[in-house]
Amino acid sequence: MGIYGQFGTNALVTMTNRKALNVIYVDGHSASLTTTGSLDSQFAILTGEVKQDPEYDQTYDENARASAWCEYLSDLKMDGIVRMNAGFEVMVCDYAVSGLQQISVTNMTVPGKDGSKKGDPKLPNDPNRQPPHGWGNIFAEQGSWEWLRSGTWHYGNQAGTGGMIKERRVILDLCRMITFYDPALQSLSGSHHGGIRGNDTYQNGWGFRRGHRLVGISQEDMAKVYDWNRKAYTVSDSKHLPCSGTDWQLVTETITLQHKARLREVARLLREAETSSDETPRLLGNVRSLIHAAIVSHWEYPEATGKSLAETRDAVKTRCSSAYSGHIELQFVNEFELVLKTAVEEVLQRLCSVEVDTFIWTEEHLNGQATPTPDLRSILTPIKSVLHDLGWDSWENCPRQCAEHVRLPITRSFQNLMSG
């Protein structure tokens, strides 16, 4: 937690809920107050308009946004919303109706003598509140880091984040997930790809990797989203929605764990093979082993089954792409869940297709059934393409992480950063 009050009284109210809250989760960095897309879905839902460059007040007036949300949610009989920045926050519209109970109120004001000194040039005074700076009192700088530290407590154990716990205080109902990626929203077709807009820059590396925006969404499509929200969240309608009961979050995490690291390593090995012709057979052997590990539960050799290579290729791709959702009957899936089912199958179809083709390609070259000099680019290109489209080619963590006893020299620039 960080105390950012520059002056005046700062109070922390601690509350608990006496019953489960019925809230809407607005995905993405929707609690980040930026003009570059983090608020697009809220602008679309609450105002029906998404501007390329929103006005200052429209972006930063959280009180007005909270009032608009509560008015919107009252028709849906919802308690509030959940949004994310570094961590998660919950906004509740009516404490009494939602069953919130106050536990304590803590006066967190830092005394002026040793704490908040308005205008003191020795204290951090960054209005953007970007780490490592805080805003206004002697604990602000450390508070910024502690805010980030506590925000990561519930990030879970994916992608090498360590032994932290997953967020369990909010349980997603993926049978009622509404997405602006839905193909039914025709006005947004083609706007989910591309780079970061113009000359936009992001402090501390924050930003949107693909530059996804909702600019240009039509009134017709916004009416569809409104109707979907009423159907998904109004009690009288939503209780009749069918649901397969599939844990789609677990499905997507499993697919990621099964394919991501192996495909990234395959891409690295193929890039090495491009510049190390003497090592090509060894590198291709490693590629074959990695791909086999990814598709082993679906792969059959033609020699073992008596089928042709073409028949084997098609059968393996079909089994692989339908492994997690092919068994789900459509009668148990509602229109919102169908988007997830379709997305899972289309992603798997691409992954399985490139993996099966790569495995057969390595088999042919290593067994002398193809030209002695393999065209590495022909097989590397589709792998790089699928990694790019899924966002799996981005940097996430260090391949080698320091143990506790390892010390590295601190650069001067990093020392300056730490000293503020």
Q: What is the pLDDT of residue 218?
A: 92
Q: What is the pLDDT of residue 415?
A: 39
Which has the minimum average pLDDT: 24-33, 85-94, 158-167? 158-167
* Domain limits for position 372: 248-390
Whether residue 1 is contained in a domain is answered as: no
> What number is the average pLDDT over the span 261-285?
85
Q: Six-digit token pair at 124?
A: 């951090």
- For residues 233 and 252, membership in a common domain is answered with no
> What number is the average pLDDT over the span 144-156?
79
Kindly report, residue by residue over 281-307, the tens digit of the pLDDT: 888 899 999 999 999 999 999 999 899
- For residues 113 and 255, membership in a common domain is answered with no
Question: Is the confidence at residue 374, as pLDDT, over 60?
Answer: yes
Last residue of a domain, one of 212, 238, 264: 238
The proportion of the chain whose per-residue pLDDT surpasses 70, expressed as a percent, equals 75
Q: What is the pLDDT of residue 405?
A: 58
- For residues 83 and 106, membership in a common domain is answered with yes
Whether residue 336 is contained in a domain is answered as: yes
Q: What is the pLDDT of residue 410?
A: 45
Whether residue 48 is contained in a domain is answered as: yes
- For residues 225 and 308, membership in a common domain is answered with no
| Mean pLDDT taken over the chain | 80
Q: What is the pLDDT of residue 161?
A: 45
Q: What confidence category does residue 368 fall into, taking pLDDT thresholds of 50, 70 and 90?
A: confident
Q: How many C-alpha atoms does 173 have within 13 Å on its Cβ side?
A: 14
- For residues 17 and 132, membership in a common domain is answered with yes
Whether residue 2 is contained in a domain is answered as: no
- For residues 275 and 211, membership in a common domain is answered with no
Question: Is the confidence at residue 332, as pLDDT, over 50?
Answer: yes
> What number is the average pLDDT over the span 356-378?
84
Whether residue 62 is contained in a domain is answered as: yes
- For residues 144 and 51, membership in a common domain is answered with yes
Facing residues of 104 across strands? Answer: 14
Which has the minimum average pLDDT: 42-51, 137-146, 159-168, 266-275? 159-168
Whether residue 420 is contained in a domain is answered as: no
- The CA distance from 145 to 203, in Å, is 15
Question: Is the confidence at residue 205, as pLDDT, over 80?
Answer: no
Whether residue 409 is contained in a domain is answered as: no
- The CA distance from 102 to 125, in Å, is 32
More confident residue, 407 or 321: 321
- The CA distance from 160 to 389, in Å, is 22
Q: How many C-alpha atoms does 140 have within 13 Å on its Cβ side?
A: 26
Q: What is the pLDDT of residue 70?
A: 95
- For residues 233 and 263, membership in a common domain is answered with no
- For residues 37 and 145, membership in a common domain is answered with yes
- Please report, as a single letter, which amino acid is at residue 291: I
Kindly report, residue by residue over 153-196, the tens digit of the pLDDT: 877 765 444 556 777 888 888 888 999 988 899 998 776 655 54
- For residues 161 and 232, membership in a common domain is answered with yes
- For residues 99 and 222, membership in a common domain is answered with yes
Last residue of a domain, one of 182, 208, 238: 238
- The CA distance from 135 to 244, in Å, is 49
> What number is the average pLDDT over the span 205-221?
69
Q: What confidence category does residue 308 fall into, taking pLDDT thresholds of 50, 70 and 90?
A: very high
Q: What is the pLDDT of residue 45?
A: 92
- For residues 217 and 316, membership in a common domain is answered with no
Kindly report, residue by residue over 39-62, the tens digit of the pLDDT: 999 999 998 889 989 999 999 999
Distance of CA 264 to the CA centre of its chain: 19
Question: Is the confidence at residue 328, as pLDDT, over 60?
Answer: yes
**Total structural domains in the chain?**
2
The proportion of the chain whose per-residue pLDDT surpasses 90, expressed as a percent, equals 42
Whether residue 270 is contained in a domain is answered as: yes
Q: What is the pLDDT of residue 206?
A: 38
